């Protein structure tokens, strides 16, 4: 064959593979409001940068007439590309080919690109759209999942791993996304569950739709399995690209530096927090009055909103924000908000991202529900994560810092590098009302006018403890600052901590309260 004919033959073969599962299956995919696997990859990466590998891989199943079936690329597309000029590895399951089900060779393609991403120290983006373990391939499918989970764990904390759920992700398949750093879901398209509606009906006799069981909203709001929720695939791809600008390519690097910008919001920072400590406000307004260009990229926005986490930039560099949200449940810590914050703190620590903590909380949420849900174990995660983190850690106490909440929110005692407090800060074992009721109960009960006595004792307690000066007198906070100086001081603290280097005792690993 001449070179020209060879090239024509190659092109013909490639165009066959590019047909995926065929026109009918692609039509069905589009009807469901879904893009095809290749189009999804092309929508995320820089134009013309995608290189696909293992295009001609075929399945090796022989049972159940599988030997008569051609499954193009075995239902998954893998390759490398660039996003904003930096390399990434990607895979995308192709639902049009055998429902994107995972058999031996399908799994081998995924593990090949995973190995590549770990070896090359570049992020891995996995697009999941699959009926799960390929039923005809039995234990080979299960082995394939196991190989993926192992690699997810190995790569954890070394390279960023992003999972995009753009279709079903059922059964054990959900555990790969769960082991990765960030999970993206899209309204009406993403479905994640261990046991589907069919099994639930058979075993429990309960009817439930896939959407109600494990749709995008469920994972963004209720389970906390998803970190980013989008209304469309297009919006989801924009979120992925944005996230990529905030994080480093691997754990030995820092995130890309951008041109520093001043905040752009008009409201003055000192006007955001109401004078009455019982009045709520949106902590995101404080964050936006601090960050470059007033930009804040929030993570897990719809789950446990009593804590806010996300990325912003300070003087051009990425910073992670962990902030109590007084607008929701007064910003208390509970099981979910502790999980949410702890995982994010560990992410920032693994990837060299300094953490700024903004504190205003009345403590941990009391109640039987929380106690029985394991608030002791979950609440301990945030203590562990902050104590363990060695990246620069800076705290600003804005208003309340009560009880365990004071300690947990990156206090000096967990080795914060800098602790600043606004003059409005109240640092004490508990709120004045509760404290007065307990400590002065006898005086209040025996007083001629118990209510007047109660108010007097509350005021006494407030004057004595509900301020930052007692903590400042012990050196637990470094400086009491005027609100308008917050950004300037944070920039200075970040500059001073840029080369922070500490190490703990030698150990294989700790045992966090998982
Ligand atoms: C083989 C599969 C498949 C699977 C789908 N297909 N899932 N083939 N193994 N797991 C095939 C279908 O036979 C069909 O092939 C094509 O993909 C499209 O599927 P449809 O059913 O027509 O699509 P749809 O109606 O959209 O339904 C999607 C679905 C459904 C809800 C995902 O296919 C489904 O319930 N699949 C099974 C899900 C499941 O239980 N998987 C196993 C989970 S257990 P044709 O040839 O007709 O086009 C598991 C264990 C892993 O994953 C454990 C790891 C630790």
Domain residue ranges in the chain:
3-246, 269-430+466-496, 432-465
Measured from the CB, is residue 361 less than 6 Å from ligand 1?
no
Residue whose token pair is 């930052």: 468
Pocket test for ligand 1, best of 24, 37, 68, 99 (most atoms within 8 A of CB): 99
Q: Taking phi first (over 0 means left), then psi (-120 to 50 degrees means alpha), and beta for anything else, what does residue 311 get?
A: beta
The one-character DSSP state at 378 is H
Pocket test for ligand 1, best of 28, 31, 68, 132 (most atoms within 8 A of CB): 132
Cα 302 to ligand 1 centroid, rounded to whole Å: 30
Read off the pLDDT band of 251 (50, 70, 90).
very high
Measured from the CB, is residue 168 less than 6 Å from ligand 1?
yes
Quick check: 150 pLDDT over 90?
A: yes
Cα 138 to ligand 1 centroid, rounded to whole Å: 13
Question: Atom 37 (ligand 1): residue with closest C-alpha?
Answer: 131
Average of per-residue pLDDT across 341-350:
98
pLDDT at 216: 97
Cα 98 to ligand 1 centroid, rounded to whole Å: 8
Average of per-residue pLDDT across 150-161:
98
Please report the atom of ligand 1 found closest to the CA of residue 170: 43
Give CATH for domain 269-430+466-496. 3.90.226.10
Measured from the CB, is residue 17 less than 6 Å from ligand 1?
no
Quick check: 1 pLDDT over 80?
A: no
Mean of the per-residue pLDDT values of the chain? 95
Question: Atom 51 (ligand 1): residue with closest C-alpha?
Answer: 172
Angle at 363 between CA 357 and CA 364, to 5 degrees: 105
Please tell me the class of the 3-246 domain.
Answer: alpha beta
pLDDT at 94: 97
pLDDT at 463: 85
Average of per-residue pLDDT across 86-95:
97
Tokens of 341: 């914050």
Measured from the CB, is residue 191 less than 6 Å from ligand 1?
no
Quick check: 465 pLDDT over 90?
A: no
Q: Is the pTM of this model over 0.85?
A: yes
Measured from the CB, is residue 131 less than 6 Å from ligand 1?
yes
Average of per-residue pLDDT across 456-481:
91
Percentage of residues in the chain with pLDDT exceeding 90?
87
Read off the pLDDT band of 67 (50, 70, 90).
confident
Dist. CA 426–CA 424, nearest whole Å: 7
pLDDT at 297: 98
User: Cα–Cα distances in Å, from 97 out to 21, 72, 185, 302, 311?
Assistant: 4, 7, 22, 34, 38
């Amino acid at each position: 064959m001449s070179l020209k004919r060879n090239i024509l033959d190659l092109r013909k073969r490639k165009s066959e593979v590019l047909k995926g599962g065929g026109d009918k299956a692609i039509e069905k995919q589009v009807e469901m409001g879904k893009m095809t696997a290749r189009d999804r990859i092309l929508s995320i990466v820089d134009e013309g940068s995608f290189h696909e590998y293992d295009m001609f891989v075929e399945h090796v199943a022989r049972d159940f007439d599988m030997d008569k079936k051609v499954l193009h690329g075995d239902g998954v597309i893998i390759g490398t590309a660039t996003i904003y000029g930096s390399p990434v590895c990607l895979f995308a399951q192709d639902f049009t080919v055998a429902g994107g089900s995972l058999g031996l060779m399908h799994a081998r393609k995924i593990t090949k690109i995973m190995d590549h991403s770990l070896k090359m120290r570049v992020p891995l983006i996995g697009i999941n759209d699959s009926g799960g373990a390929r039923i005809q391939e039995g234990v080979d499918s299960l082995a394939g999942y196991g190989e993926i989970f192992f690699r997810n764990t190995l790569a954890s904390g070394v390279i960023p791993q992003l999972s995009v759920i753009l279709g079903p992700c059922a059964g054990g398949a959900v555990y790969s996304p769960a082991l990765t750093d960030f999970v993206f879901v899209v309204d009406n398209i993403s479905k994640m569950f261990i046991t589907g509606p069919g099994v639930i009906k058979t075993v429990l006799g309960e009817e439930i739709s896939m959407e109600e069981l494990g749709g995008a909203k469920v994972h963004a709001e209720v389970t906390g399995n998803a970190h980013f929720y989008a209304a469309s695939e297009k919006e989801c791809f924009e979120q992925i690209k944005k996230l990529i600008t905030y994080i480093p390519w691997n754990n030995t690097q820092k995130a890309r530096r951008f041109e520093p910008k001043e905040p752009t919001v008009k409201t003055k920072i000192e006007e955001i927090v109401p004078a009455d400590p019982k009045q709520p406000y949106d902590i995101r307004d404080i964050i936006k009055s601090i960050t470059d260009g007033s930009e804040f990229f929030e993570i897990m926005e719809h789950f446990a909103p009593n804590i806010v986490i996300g990325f912003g930039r300070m003087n051009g560099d990425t910073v992670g924000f962990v902030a109590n949200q007084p607008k929701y449940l007064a910003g208390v810590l509970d099981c979910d908000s502790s999980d949410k914050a702890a995982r994010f703190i560990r992410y920032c620590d693994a990837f060299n991202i300094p953490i700024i903590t903004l504190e205003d909380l009345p403590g941990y949420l009391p109640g039987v529900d929380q106690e029985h849900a394991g608030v002791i174990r979950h609440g301990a995660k945030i203590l562990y994560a902050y104590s363990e983190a060695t990246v620069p850690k800076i705290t600003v106490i804005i208003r309340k810092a009560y009880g365990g909440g004071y300690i947990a929110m990156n206090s000096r005692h967990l080795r914060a590098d800098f602790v600043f407090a606004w003059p409005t800060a109240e640092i004490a074992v508990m709120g004045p009302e509760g404290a007065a009721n307990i400590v002065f109960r006898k005086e209040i009960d025996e007083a001629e006018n118990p209510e007047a006595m109660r108010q007097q004792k509350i005021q006494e307690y407030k004057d004595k403890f509900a301020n930052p000066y007692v903590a400042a007198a012990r050196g637990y906070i470094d400086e009491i600052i005027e609100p308008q100086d917050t950004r300037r001081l944070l920039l200075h603290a970040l500059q001073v901590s840029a080369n922070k280097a500490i190490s703990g005792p030698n150990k294989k690993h700790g045992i966090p309260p998982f």
